[in-house]
């Protein structure tokens, strides 16, 4: 038997292909020095409790002090998190992450007094102080939102306890990552010519997107089986996360975990249920796609490991430089400033940790702070899909870049609800450019394949996970017992409905899909991928159709941060997510891709 091909060690990755860690802290020793400095500065917060009613100047001093320390704590946490993410077995990074999480919890507890005291001062007084004190003017929306949420803010003592609970509660997230990225092992995949190849979180997607069906099957089965082997541990950990959501919702007097998640960003419940209802109504479009895919692949029975298989007979090789160039071309309607910043980040400032290595965490993400670059972690494999992933994460990064450049720290973040708009917008714009730039049928089939892979993830997987998440939370809220087999059966049922009889369903392996998405550990996060891709296609269409000021409106949205509620920010850009229309239009786009694929493959 041939030797198993292995992933490179972290130390074997060229420096220019790694994230620019030294721009955050020159060395881990500098990180430790800053950790100690922040520890020494935390007691300075003790001067502020019970004094905020002394006037606008005192309130300003307190909030400015909190912001300054928050920026330092976030930067410290980010460095530790990113260091661990690129090498999850790095013991120094694991230790730093634990230190940072503990420090963040202590900081949260030390500042928990501020919002209850502000609320006690009263909205009328705060409004007058905002008018009288220029330094508070920029915080007007922050105060408005705080008083909107007043009914869910508890006393200073309770808020302190809830803040202290974040550290032990965060253990479930860390446990999920340690199990799946550090401790979980996978049996090798086998290619059609008998070669065995190592499977890891960083390369399983490459197997599934390959043309070798035996490699796809054995990699998919290996991946699912490793999760199934730990199904009871993973279930226990996930249910602890769900119970955490329910605990926080009840502690803050919400009627459900869903309400708690949506209220935080002032998103109406109708947005969630509109998505689920329109998704279920349009499942026949997905059923048609599975049938076309089966025919185009020439297989008698379609299996889940065939979902990402290339339909085109030739796949383009897309190196990193080419990927950056195409993305920049696609986004050129947004203007030179946008494109220049993006290109510089990719090619000069090392925003991107690019290639897979042993024990690198799964998937891809964009993450940074107000005082760092907006970094990206991914596993680039010179494919069109990798280019699409890069475009997606650069959407997040440029969103963060423009927000930090434009907004004060208090509004420098943005909600999960709008986060997936920018990412999917970048993919839609890049895809539209490539459809026009290359009319070769094989390239067009590949491009549709890339589009369908992305839409499948955001407009099939994520709504399905949202339905799963809703049901699990409601069962826990009703006090029902939930087992590993319950979760597997629920997930398998939902996928069988989505496949519509066009796909063979291995119920246990399909049913464990929920455990492969750490996104479920963020309370009702996944549905926002689907609303995000809906808004993204609506906004890209405005620009591609030549709507006056569409590009300027979109950049204004990217620059708004949290200075507006997310639904209002999207209205500023030109789309109203409080109605079903954007989701319905996104399904119309999906149907167009399915029609085009049908024609090209006949």
Pick from 602, 512, 538, 435: which is nearest to 227 by CA? 512
User: Bridge-partner residues for 190, per DSSP?
Assistant: 196
Q: Measured on CA atoms in the order 262, 268, 270, 274, is the torsion positive or negative?
A: negative
Given the residues 393, 420, 450, 469, select the one marked as catalytic: 393
Note if 393 is an active site residue. Answer: yes
Q: Would you tell me how many other CB atoms lie within 10 Å of the CB of residue 357? A: 20
Instruction: For residue 474, count CB atoms less than 10 angstroms from its CB and return exposed for 0-12, middle for 13-18, buried for 19 or more.
Output: middle
Tokens (6 digits) for 174: 């860390």
Q: 222 near 189, Cβ under 8 Å?
A: yes
Q: Is 433 helix (H, G, I), strand (E, B) or coil?
A: helix
- CA gap 97, 91 in Å, rounded: 10
Q: C-alpha distances in angstroms, 578 versus 276, 299, 525, 571, 575?
A: 13, 42, 17, 10, 9
152 touches 501 (CB < 8 A) = no
Q: Is 379 within 8 Å of 360 (Cβ atoms)?
A: yes
**Tokens linked to 222:** 């290996």
Q: Which of 224, 207, 378 is nearest to 307 (CA)?
A: 207
Those residues whose C-beta lies under 8 Å from the C-beta of residue 513, and which sit 6 or more positions away, are: 224, 461, 491, 495
Contacts of 489 (CB under 8 A, 6+ apart): 507, 511
Give the residue numbers annotated as catalytic, written as ranges: 393
């Amino acid at each position: 038997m041939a030797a198993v091909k292995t992933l490179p060690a972290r130390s074997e990755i060229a420096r220019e292909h790694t994230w620019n860690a030294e721009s955050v802290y020159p060395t881990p020793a500098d990180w430790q020095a800053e950790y100690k400095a922040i520890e020494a500065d935390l007691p300075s917060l003790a001067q502020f409790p019970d004094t905020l009613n002394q006037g606008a100047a005192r309130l300003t001093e307190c909030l400015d002090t909190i912001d300054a320390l928050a920026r330092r704590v976030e930067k410290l946490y980010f460095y530790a998190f990113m260091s661990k993410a690129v090498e999850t077995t790095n013991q120094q990074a694991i230790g730093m992450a634990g230190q940072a999480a503990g420090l963040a919890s202590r900081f949260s507890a030390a500042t928990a007094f501020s919002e209850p005291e502000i609320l006690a001062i009263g909205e009328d007084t705060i409004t007058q102080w905002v008018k009288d004190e220029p330094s508070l003017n920029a915080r007007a929306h922050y105060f408005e939102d705080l008083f909107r949420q007043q009914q869910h803010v508890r006393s200073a003592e309770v808020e302190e306890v809830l803040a202290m609970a974040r550290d032990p509660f965060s253990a479930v997230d860390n446990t999920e990552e340690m199990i799946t990225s550090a401790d979980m092992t996978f049996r090798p995949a086998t290619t059609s010519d008998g070669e065995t190849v190592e499977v890891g979180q960083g390369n399983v997607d490459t197997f599934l997107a390959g043309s070798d069906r035996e490699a796809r099957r054995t990699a998919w089965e290996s991946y699912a089986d490793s999760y199934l082997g730990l199904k009871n541990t993973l279930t226990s950990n996930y249910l602890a996360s769900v119970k955490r959501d329910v605990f926080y919702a009840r502690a803050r007097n919400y009627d459900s975990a869903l309400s708690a998640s949506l209220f935080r960003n002032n998103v109406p419940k109708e947005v969630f249920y509109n998505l689920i209802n329109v998704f279920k109504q349009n499942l026949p479009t997905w059923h048609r796609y599975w049938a076309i895919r089966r025919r185009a692949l020439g297989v008698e029975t379609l299996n889940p490991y065939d979902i990402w298989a290339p339909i085109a007979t030739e796949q383009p090789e897309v190196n990193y430089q080419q990927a950056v160039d195409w993305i920049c071309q696609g986004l050129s309607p947004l203007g030179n400033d946008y494109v220049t910043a993006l290109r510089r980040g990719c090619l000069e400032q090392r925003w991107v940790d690019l290639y897979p290595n042993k024990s690198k965490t799964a998937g891809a993400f964009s993450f940074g702070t107000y005082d760092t670059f907006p970094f990206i972690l991914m596993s680039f494999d010179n494919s069109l899909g990798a280019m699409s992933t890069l475009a997606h994460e650069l959407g997040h990064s440029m969103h963060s870049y423009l927000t930090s450049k434009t907004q004060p720290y208090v509004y420098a973040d943005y909600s999960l609800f709008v986060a997936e708009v920018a990412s999917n917008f970048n993919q839609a714009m890049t895809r539209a450019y490539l459809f026009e730039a290359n009319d070769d049928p094989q390239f067009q089939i590949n491009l549709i394949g890339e589009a369908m892979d992305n839409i499948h993830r955001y407009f099939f997987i994520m709504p399905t996970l949202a339905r799963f998440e809703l049901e699990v939370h409601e069962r826990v809220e009703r006090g029902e017992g939930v087992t590993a087999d319950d979760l597997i059966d629920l997930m398998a049922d939902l996928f069988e409905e989505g496949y519509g009889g066009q796909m063979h369903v291995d119920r246990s392996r399909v049913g464990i899909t929920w455990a492969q998405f750490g996104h479920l550990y963020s309370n009702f996060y996944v549905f926002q991928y689907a609303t995000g891709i809906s808004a993204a296609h609506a906004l890209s269409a405005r620009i591609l159709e030549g709507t006056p000021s569409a590009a300027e409106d979109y950049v204004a949205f990217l620059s708004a941060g949290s200075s507006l509620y997310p639904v209002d920010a999207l209205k500023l850009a030109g789309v109203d997510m409080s109605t079903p229309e954007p989701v319905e239009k996104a399904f119309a786009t999906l149907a167009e891709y399915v029609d085009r694929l049908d024609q090209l493959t006949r």
